[in-house]
Structure 1
Amino acid sequence: MGKYVVLPATHQTDCGRFRASFSVHRSRDSDSHCRVFHFDKAFASREAARLFAVTQGWLQTSMPTLPAR
């Protein structure tokens, strides 16, 4: 299994709420892979959106392999 780097991000919406996203970077030998995940759910605070992104990133990297699109 390769090493993963999960980078959570938050984005403020026009109405002042926050959306979550994260990217997963994986490298193994000479191969590297990056996926970005965006979520439609809006949160009242930036911290809540960040926590959601971190949790989703952890769940994604806990899976045996990243699912194909």
Structure 2
Amino acid sequence: MRSWLVKARGEKSQREIAAAVGIRQGYYSMLENGLRVPSVRVAMKLDQELGVDWRKFFEENEEEIENGRDI
């Protein structure tokens, strides 16, 4: 789970964030749960909407690869 993403969302619903970014709520839920990695475009839109560093999504994956875990 990406608790940092849930925290950044605050009081807004997943549906509100998804609509603002142009994605489906179900896909946004998968992003929060760490089940999907967004495209750079979506990550940058989330950065604009929530103020999260878009690169954080990809840094996580680098750590998992270095630790030998599947993404």
TM-score normalised to structure 2 length: 0.29
Q: Between Structure 1 and Structure 2, whose CA radius of gyration is higher? A: 1
More helix by share: 2
TM-score normalised to structure 1 length: 0.30
Task: Tell me: higher relative CO, structure 1 or 2? Use CA pairs within 8 A at least 6 residues apart.
Answer: 1
More strand by share: 1
